[in-house]
Structure 1
Amino acid sequence: MKKIFFDSRPMDKRAREDFGLTEELMMENAAAAMEDAVTPYVFHESTRYIDRPHVLILCGAGNNGADGYALARRLVCHEFCVTCCVVDEPKSELCKLQKKRAELSGVMFTDLYSLDDFIEEKSFDITVVVDCIFGAGFRQPLPPNAEAVLLSVSKIDCRKISCDIPTGLDAYGNGTIVFKADETVTMGSLKLALYSDRAKDCTGKITLANLGISKTNFEHESKFQPDAYLLEKNEMTLPWRRKQNANKGTFGHAAIASGEKPGAANIAANAAINFGAGLVTLTGVDSSSFMSIMASKELPSNTSALLLGSGFGRSNKDAEKYLSYLKENKKVPFVLDADIFYYSEIKKFLEENSSEEKNSRCILTPHPKEFSVLLENCGLGNFSTAQVVEQRYELAKKFTETFKGCILILKGTTTTIAHWSAKENRTCIYLNPHGTNALAKAGSGDVLAGLCTALLAQGYNAINAAITASLAHSLASKKYDGSFALTPEKLIDEIGALK
């Protein structure tokens, strides 16, 4: 699990004050890291017919631009051409100094107004474009000159690398016109902006570079609190069966409430039985589509976890029955999904059953539109789906600060998992960027809900169930060879093959 920070500037300041690193030395280390990222693609196999390869560096007016000029100076030591596009004349003192050094070193220059002609003349020779216009401190809107440069270089077919954060992304990872990188070399620490839904199409591979001290020293645990955590595969604890003296009841009984669209409940039930639940029953129906899944009009007496909402319908008369059951059976954990968020009773139910962290037994799995409805029904504001996507970090915090017993899995390009931690006295955010666009398919969310229910039935606590289910869901999508043909059934098969 890696730490993610909203703003790394306090860590930069401490590195200078406590470790004696000057800003100029840190900049040289940043340029060296960028040099390591650029050089393998200058004399790449794909450019073997180019006699004189060319690197184009886009430089802004601040210290991100200074990084670009320092990089240019280092690159002219190699046997290829380097040109800096001066997007804005230097304003910071270091940017002025680094540009002067680059000029003295033999770096070539062009400007915004000559860039299109330069690209037309050199397009075949340009093997790498480096974005050093704006860094982590950028605030919207993107200035017209930077916008024009990004549109111009988007025509070039070559390796594209960003310094720190792709230009056009703000601190929350939002932006309209953004430099589309194949790799982003981010400095010192991972930034929250790199893991937004918008960023996933712009960052490419994310490489963390140090600025002259170790990651441990830079992120000093007692001085800097991360704003989020990046989930990795080793956080996934699959429900391997270690105990041999067992029966089906040992591994729990997952109940899946069926309703208006029984296909969704069937998908969730199939996911649950394939993810280790010993017994799975579809409730509210007379029959099941799967031989291994039972059906019952009523909840089984030995229910160990309940999923409510998948395909349930928004006016199902049985909603009160299920909510009352959960109120009366305080030890039964549950997953809420999809249609249940549209019920006006949801606010009162969550206040009575999920308002305290010590009683955490609830996982919610909305997509952005459903979360928008949930926020409104809970009296937390009116937000469009687009606003939920853009503000997912802050809205996830807002929700879990209000309902401290809920584990929120807010689905998206980068899935956000949030829960209140009494120990830390704050909301903890976990980001899962591992899913692919193959999951953009009806039924994928029902699979996730079923996975969560299966783990709760087997005795996982709610946060561990949410993390493992989310990772299994996304990592299985990466295993599938194809982006458009991944069905829920195929996804479940891939989950079963995880190791």
Structure 2
Amino acid sequence: MKKIFLDSRPMDKRAREDFYLTEELMMENAAAALENAVTPYVFHESARYIDRPHVLILCGAGNNGADGYALARRLICHEFTVTCCVVDEPKSEVCKLQKKRAELAGVFFTDFYSLDDFIDAKSFDITVVVDCIFGAGFRQPLPPNAEAVLLSVSKIDCRKISCDIPTGLDALGNGTTVFKADETVTMGSLKLALYSDRAKDCTGKITLANLGISKTNFEHESKFIADAMLLEESEMVLPWRNKNNVNKGSFGHAVIAAGEKTGAANIAATAALNFGAGLATLAGVDASNSMSIMSSKELPSNTSALLLGSGFGRSNKDAKKYFSYLKQNMDIPFVLDADIFYYDEIKNFLEENCSDEKNIRCILTPHPKEFSVLLEKCGLGTFTVSEVVAQRYELAKKFAETYKGSILILKGAVTSITQWSSKENLSCVYLNPQGTNALAKAGSGDVLAGLCLALLAQGYNSINAAITASLAHTLASKKYDGSFALTPEKLIEEIGALK
């Protein structure tokens, strides 16, 4: 896992004070990292007919702009032309100094008023645009001049690189008009702004650059607590079977409470069976319509884990029966999904069964609309879907703090997994950006719920089940060759091929 921070400026300050790295030295290291990202694309094969390649750097008034001017001075040493667009005149002393140095080195300048004319004249020659307008300290709204510049450069077909954070994204990764980068070179540490749903369309490849000291020294764990953790493929622990003297009962009985939409329940059950569960049963129906999935009108006596909500319906008369079963069987882990969040009983159920941080047996897997409903049902506030997406980090932490005995998987372009940590006395957030747009398909969520259920049935604890299920779900989507035809069945096949 990698650490993610909401604000890296305290770490910058410590690097200056404890390691005697001057602001200019750190800036020079940032410019060097940007230079390494820019130069491979200046003389790229796609630009082989250009006699004099051109790099355009968009410079703001603060330290991000200063990075841009320092980059321009370094790039002018190469055999191509460099122009800085002065989006706003320098305000910080270091930005003024770096701009003066760039002028003396022979860098060309234009202003945002003349940018459109410049682009019309040079668009064929521009091979790279570098965004150095705003960085980690940006707060909405975006000034009109910066917005105009972003709209102008969006028309240029070339490599686009952002310094630290794409301009237009605030600290939580929200923004309307945003620079769309092919690569973001972020300085010192990973920022939370880079891992929002909005950011996923804007950051491109994320490259972490050091500013003159190691990542370990910069992020000093005894001084700085990460605001989130970035999940990597190595955190996925697949349910490989390493014993031979076993039977189907050795791997748990995954049970899905079925209802009005048995198709969704069947998808979840199929996912559970294909992810290692020894048995999978639809409860509450006469037949499963699948040779592999069993059915039962009542809950099997050997139930290992229960999924409640997938295709269940929003007025199922058996809801109270299942709630009561989970209350009475405190050793049975369970997954809550989809329709179950619409029941008025959900608040009391969560208070009675998901408040004990010493017995975490519940995983919830809502998408933003369902989470909006859940928050309101639980008395945690009324939010639109767009507000949930924009505030997902804070709202997920608030939910975990309220229901300390639960694990929340909030689905999205970047999926978040949140749990309460009694050791740290705060909500821990794990971010999974691995998913693709192919998952935006009916049934994908049922697959995820089934994966969580399978791992719970096999004895995984709740947080490990949530992390492995989420990673398997998203990494399988990356392995699928396509973007619009990924069905739940194909997704389950890809999950089965994971190694």
TM-score normalised according to structure 2 size: 1.00
Matched residue of 1:357: which SS?
A: coil
**1:309 is aligned with what amino acid?**
G
Question: What are the superposed Cα offsets for residues 129-170 of structure 1, whole Å, 9 maximum, x if unpaired?
Answer: 000000000000000000000000000000000000000000
Give the aligned partner of residue 485 of structure 2: 485
1:356 CA drift (Å): 1.3
Indicate the SS of the match to 2:358: helix
Secondary structure, counterpart of 1:128 in structure 2: strand
**Letter aligned with residue 49 of structure 2:** Y
Structure-to-structure mapping, 1:198-347, within 5 angstroms: 198-347=198-347
**What's 2:126 paired with?**
126
What secondary structure sits across from 2:386 in the alignment? helix
Structure 2 residues without counterparts, runs of 5 or longer: none
CA contact (8 A) 2:436 2:474 kept: yes
Amino acid at match of 1:137: G
Contact 2:34–2:163 at 8 Å: present in 1 too? yes
Could you tell me which residue of structure 2 aligns to residue 150 of structure 1?
A: 150
1:187 aligns to what? Answer: 187
* One-letter amino acid of the structure 2 residue matched with residue 400 of structure 1: A
SS at match of 1:312: coil
Which letter does structure 2 place at the counterpart of 1:379?
G
The residue type equivalent to 2:12 in the other structure is D
CA distance, structure 1, for counterparts of residue 492 and residue 197 of structure 2: 24
Amino acid at match of 1:445: G
Residues 396-447 of structure 1: CA deviation (Å, up to 9, x unaligned): 0000000000100000000010000111111100000000000000000000
Report the counterpart of residue 431 of structure 1 in structure 2.
431
Matches within 5 A, 1:22-101: 22-101=22-101
| Aligned-partner Cα distance in 2 for 1:149–1:289 | 58
Displacement after TM superposition at 1:263 (Å): 0.6
Runs of 5+ consecutive residues of structure 1 not aligned to the other structure? none
C-alpha separation between the residues in 1 aligned to 2:115 and 2:289?
62
Amino acid at match of 1:375: L
Aligned-residue offset at 1:289: 2.1
Aligned match of 2:104: 104
Q: Is the 8 A contact 2:276 2:455 kept in 1?
A: yes
Partner of 2:169: 169
Look up the match of 2:358. Answer: 358
User: How far does residue 390 in structure 1 lie from its aligned partner after superposition?
Assistant: 0.1
**In structure 2, how many angstroms separate the alpha carbons of the residues matched to 1:92 and 1:8?**
19
Give the C-alpha shift of residue 336 in structure 1: 0.1
Deviation at 1:290, TM superposition (A): 1.7
Alignment partner of 1:310: what SS?
Answer: coil
Identity %: 86
Q: What CA distance in whole angstroms lies between the structure 1 residues aligned with 2:323 and 2:4?
A: 37
| Partner SS, residue 290 of structure 2 | coil
Q: How does 1:373-392 map to 2 (within 5 A)?
A: 373-392=373-392
TM-score for the superposition, normalised by structure 1: 1.00
Q: Distance in 2 between matches of 1:359 and 1:379?
A: 23
Which letter does structure 2 place at the counterpart of 1:354?
Answer: C
Per-residue deviation, 1:459: 0.1
Q: What is the Cα-based RMSD across aligned positions, in Å?
A: 0.4
SS at match of 1:387: helix
Take 2:350 and 2:326, find their aligned partners in 1: how far apart are those partners? Answer: 11
CA–CA separation in structure 1 for the residues paired with 2:406 and 2:147 = 42
CA distance in 2, matches of 1:20, 1:290: 67
Q: Provide the secondary structure at the position in 1 that maps to 2:277.
A: coil
Letter in 2 for 1:308: L
CA distance in 1, matches of 2:284, 2:129: 59
Q: How many aligned positions are there? A: 499
Query: CA separation in 1, counterparts of 2:388 and 2:289?
Result: 35
Work out the CA distance in 1 between the residues paired with 2:43 and 2:145: 31
